Amino acid sequence: MSAVLRKRFFEQILVMFGREPQKPDAISEPAKQIHLVKRATNKEILKHAEAHLSTSHKWRNRRWVTLVLANLLFVVSYAFDIQILEGALTASRFIGFHLIDLNSALQVMLAHKHIITNLLIGTGTVLVLWILFGGRSFCSWVCPYHLLAEWTEKIHLWLVKRKLVTDQSINRWTRTVFWLVFAVLAFVTGYTVYESISPTGIVSRALIYGPGLALLWVLALLVFEVFFVRRAWCRYACPIGLTYGVVGIISPLRVKYTLEGCFHEGNCRKVCLVPHVLDTVIKGRAVATEVPIGPDCTRCGLCVDICPTGSLRFDIKGLSKLL
C-alpha cells in the first residue's frame, strides 16, 4: 500500500467515527495526471456518460432476497419447530452452532462486568463471517430494520422532491457518542439498555414471535426519518453499525473506486446510505487511481448498480490482481 493510500485508510477510519471528510493534501502523481485530463474533459463526453446511465438493480435485488430469506428462516424454524435457525438476530443457533451478535455480546459482558466464555464462543463464528464479508454488510444484507428504512426512505425523497419536507442532517459524531453512552449504561446499571430499544432486535423478534408494543418505537423512528432526517437511525445513531464498521476495517471484501473512467455524475452519492464514504468520488478528491471505499461502507451495492462506467465495483483485497 502506498503512503497516500495508507494515509487515506486511516482518514477513512476517522470518518467512520464521525469526522467530516477532508480534501486530501497528498495525491499520487498518476492520479494528478488523470485529474488534469478530467478538468479538460469536454461537455460532449459528459453527456455521453450520462446517456449511458446504468439502471441495473442487480445487487439491490440480490440483497433484498438475501435479507428476506435470512429473516424468513428464523420465522419458519420457529413456526414449524424444525430447529434450523433458532432464536433471533441478537442471539441464535444455526444447526447447533451458537451465533451471537457482536454488539449484543459486548453489552452483556459490560453489564456482567466479566468476560463470558460462552459468549466468546458464540461470537467467534459471527466475527469471522463479518470479517470476510465486510462488517457493515450485516446492516444492508441482514438487518430487517434496514429494509424498512430503505423503503420508507422513498417516501421521504418523494416529499423532498415536492418540497414538502427538507433533507436535514445530524452531526455524525452522534453515533460514536451513542455507542459510548450505551456501553456506560450497561456497565453502570448491569442491564443491556440498548437491547431494549434496538430496532434491529425489536423487528427481528416481532417477525418471529409476533408483534408487541415495542413496534411503536420502531414506527416512531420511521416516521421521524420520513418527515425530518433521512435514514436517521442507521446513519447517526445505531451502535451496531459502528461495531460492525470496526470489524470491516480488516475485511478483504470492499467496494473499489477507479478514477480513470469516472465522469462525476454524482448519482452514486445520491443513492448511498452513508454518502460520506464516497467522498473520494468528488472531483479532485481521489488520492490514487484506485481507492478502496472506507470501512463504514455497508456493501449494499447501490453505487455499483448505478455507476454508468463501472468505476465502482466489488473487489477482494489481494485477489483482484490474481484474477
Across 112-118, average pLDDT: 81
φ/ψ of residue 237, rounded to 5: -135, -40
pLDDT at 322 over 50: no
Across 216-238, average pLDDT: 96
Residues in a beta bridge with 91: 100
Nearest alpha carbon to residue 240 among 100, 86, 117: 100
Q: Which residues contact 59 (CB under 8 A, 6 or more apart)?
A: 300, 301, 302, 304, 305
Under DSSP, is residue 85 helix (H, G, I), strand (E, B) or coil?
A: strand
Q: What is the reported pLDDT for 48?
A: 52
**Per-residue pLDDT band at 43 (split at 50, 70, 90):** low
Q: What is the reported pLDDT for 148?
A: 97
Across 54-82, average pLDDT: 92
Q: What is the reported pLDDT for 55?
A: 66
Indicate the domain borders of the chain. 3-58+251-316, 59-246
Between 315 and 265, residue with greater pLDDT:
315
Under DSSP, is residue 318 helix (H, G, I), strand (E, B) or coil?
A: coil
Strands 253-258 and 312-316: antiparallel
As a whole number of angstroms, the distance between CA 75 and CA 93 comes to 13
pLDDT at 54 over 80: no
Across 266-291, average pLDDT: 92
Across 101-111, average pLDDT: 92
With beta carbons less than 8 A apart as the criterion, state whether 286 and 263 touch: no
For cell 467467534, name the residue.
Answer: 124
Q: How many CA atoms lie within 13 A of 57 on its CB side?
A: 4
With beta carbons less than 8 A apart as the criterion, state whether 299 and 141 touch: yes
Between 76 and 167, residue with greater pLDDT:
76
Across the chain, mean pLDDT equals 89
**Angle 102-112/117-133 helices, nearest 10 degrees?**
150
Exposure string of 230-262, with b = 16+ CB inside 10 Å and e = fewer, is: bbbbbbbbbbbbbbbbbbbbebebbbbbbbeeb
Q: Which of 188-202, 244-258, 262-276 is least confident?
A: 262-276
pTM, two decimals, is: 0.90
Q: What is the reported pLDDT for 163?
A: 92
Q: What is the reported pLDDT for 1?
A: 67
pLDDT in tens, 124-178: 889 999 999 988 999 999 999 999 999 999 999 999 999 999 988 999 999 999 9
| Residue 91: its H or E element | strand 91-94
pLDDT at 69 over 50: yes
Cell of 189: 446499571
**Per-residue pLDDT band at 323 (split at 50, 70, 90):** very low
Q: What is the reported pLDDT for 45?
A: 57
Q: What is the reported pLDDT for 257?
A: 96
Q: What is the reported pLDDT for 38?
A: 72
Q: Is the dihedral of CA 301, 303, 309, 314 positive or negative?
A: negative
**Per-residue pLDDT band at 41 (split at 50, 70, 90):** low
Across 237-260, average pLDDT: 94
Q: What is the reported pLDDT for 50?
A: 55
Q: What is the reported pLDDT for 247?
A: 93
Q: Which residues contact 206 (CB under 8 A, 6 or more apart)?
A: 212, 214, 215
